[in-house]
Amino acid sequence: MSVRPLPSSTPAAQGVDATRVLAFLDALDAAPDIEPHSLMILRHGHLVASGWWAPYTPERLHLLYSLSKSFTSTAAGFAVAEGLIRLDDPVISYFPEFEADITDPRSRAMLVRHVAAMASGHEEETYERARALDRDELVRGFLLLPPERDPGTVFAYNQPATYTLGAIVQRVTGQSLTDYLRPRLLDPVGAGDVAWLRGRAGRELGFSGLHATTDVVARLGQLYLNGGVWDGERLLAPEWVAEATREHIPTGAGVPEEDRQDWDQGYGFQFWQSRHGYRGDGAYGQFCLVLPEHDAVIAITAATGDMQALLDLAWEHLLPAFTDGPLPDGQDADATLRERLTRLALPPAPGKPAPPERAEEWSAAEFTPAGGVCAAQRTLGSVAVASGADGWTVTLTEDGNRLELSLGDGGWSVAEAPLPTAVSGGWTDPDTLTLDVAFLETPHHLLLTCSLPDHTFTARWATEPLHGAPLRSLRAPRPSG
């Protein structure tokens, strides 16, 4: 699907100090626990800076994890405006087939607005407990789990709450979230393709699983910043924008005001309040930062276990970049930033592209998990190394499925089949082969080491997939048929 480019401008023309953006890039480079994948900055409705760290690219879909929730919220906003959902309806009213099963008065009192605001009355995450009660129908399992408190009185980040909101939208519309959003959101803002993982009941997950480009994230943020208007056309009701992005339920209970971080500022309808503005966010650093006080949107994808550190760098370096007017002397800094953004790249793992010694022993060598267990990927049973006319390949076998990886010449070797990957690394000594395997439509890397003396391998995740899926599923879902 073709994508209409966002309006673009120079940073200086829109009052953005490019030297501050460059300092942010420097800080990311210096942060050992943050791996940036992409950055887009919009100011006054114009794209002023964008870059992707190779091997990631602008057109690549990226797993957004819980940033998906903000898209589910948007779908609910459309359904409310169309009279298909009412926020003060009991959740159970949308699932009459469960009516006889759900007897707890708090579960029966739970309203649509409560699941939208993570205020179901449960005191903690319910996903595993709800799934244990009904593995095939998460809504039923969730409603069968009595809340400890009255709905609307306590915050708990709770995947089944969002799943239930998404299930309601899909039930009343008769469409998937993606299909429902396409003519209402995605096409009108000029967004490209997206793809959403489905659960056992066949529904799109809602709480996670959306794969989209950074551009789509930026457009969602700009729509909310505009109060629901795009190119002069009203798409989303202003009442929903206001409700979704204000605090409905406090977070960070018991945290002193002076110690509060970005997750302690309150929660809206599937949007977090921030120390600055509000945001959608997803595990490992997928962010849509909306800054009304600066008329700016920042979209980021990344891989980090320290999301607060990434936000801290944004607040430290990017907030001061937004000035009150154009910067007439900013052309040189703009040019420096523009050039820097064209050469962003993740450093490849070290290693030689061929074994320095004993090539015959390495060719056709097979490796089993060290200690009989692969800690990172329990189903990864073997690794095979081979040489051929096109160079060296490494084949991972998982539950009988093979993933063949081609080694490059010292950089990142990108392949689209059988799933999008980039591989770097090689032989660090005659006995050791070390690879970094990036699954390009996710935030995840598998770090693999093969030892020739004992023919074993070890594997660990740089960031561990949260959906517990096999390697072959670490990609955006493709249309069936």
Structure confidence by residue, pLDDT tens digits, 174-211: 999 999 999 999 999 999 999 999 999 999 999 999 99
Q: Which residues contact 417 (CB under 8 A, 6 or more apart)?
A: none
Residue 340: how many other CB atoms lie within 10 Å = 16
Preceding amide of 55 cis, omega within 30: yes
Two structure tokens written together for 303 = 């891989």
**What is the rounded CA–CA span in Å between residue 411 and residue 347?**
8
Phi-psi map region of 126: left, alpha, beta (phi>0 left; psi -120 to 50 alpha): alpha
Comparing CA positions, the residue from 466, 473, 465 lying closest to residue 446 is: 465
To the nearest whole number, what is the mean pLDDT of the chain? 95
Concatenate the DSSP letters of all residues of 337-382 into one string.
Answer: HHHHHHT-BPPPPP-BSS-SS-HHHHTTEEEEEGGG--SS-TTEEE
Estimate the crossing angle of helix 68-81 against helix 214-225, to 10 degrees.
50
Encode pLDDT of 204-230 as tens digits: 999 999 999 999 999 999 999 999 999
Q: Is the predicted pLDDT of residue 343 greater than 60, yes or no?
A: yes
pLDDT confidence of 390, banded at 50, 70, 90? confident
C-alpha 385/C-alpha 29 separation (Å) is: 33
Is residue 194 within 8 A of residue 178, CB to CB? The reply is: yes
Instruction: Examine the pLDDT at 374 and tell me if it is beyond 80.
Output: no
Cα 111 from Cα 146, distance rounded (Å): 14
Identify the CATH number of the domain defined by range 359-473. 2.40.128
At residue 128 the predicted structure's pLDDT band, cuts being 50, 70 and 90, is: very high
Examine the pLDDT at 480 and tell me if it is beyond 70.
no
Cα 169 from Cα 230, distance rounded (Å):
23
HSE-CB at 155 with a 13 A cutoff on CA atoms is: 19
Mean pLDDT within 321-338 = 96
Q: Which CATH architecture has domain 12-82+166-342?
A: 3-Layer(aba) Sandwich (3.40)
How many whole angstroms separate alpha carbon 114 and alpha carbon 111? 5
The helix, strand and coil proportions of the chain, stated in percent and rounded to the nearest 5, come to 30, 25, 45
Mean pLDDT of all residues in 270-288: 98
Rounded mean pLDDT, 40-69: 98
> How far is Cα 284 from Cα 258, in angstroms, rounded to an integer?
25
How high is the pLDDT of residue 376? Answer: 64
Q: Where in the chain is the domain with CATH 2.40.128?
A: 359-473
Is the omega angle on the peptide bond into residue 418 within 30 degrees of 0, that is, cis? yes
CB contact at 8 A, 155 and 249? yes
pTM of the model: 0.96
CATH 3.40.710.10 domain range(s) in the chain: 12-82+166-342
The H-or-E segment that residue 158 falls in is: none
Q: Rounded to the nearest 5 degrees, what angle is found at the Cα of 459, between the Cα atoms of 456 and 461?
A: 175
Q: How confident is the model at residue 377 (pLDDT cuts 50, 70, 90)?
A: low
Contact (Cβ atoms closer than 8 angstroms) between residue 419 and residue 403: yes
CA–CA dist 440, 446 (Å, integer): 11
List the one residue out of 64, 3, 441 whose CA is nearest residue 192.
3
Q: What is the pLDDT of residue 375?
A: 62
1 pLDDT more than 60:
no
Take residue 102 and report the two structure tokens written for it: 């759900």
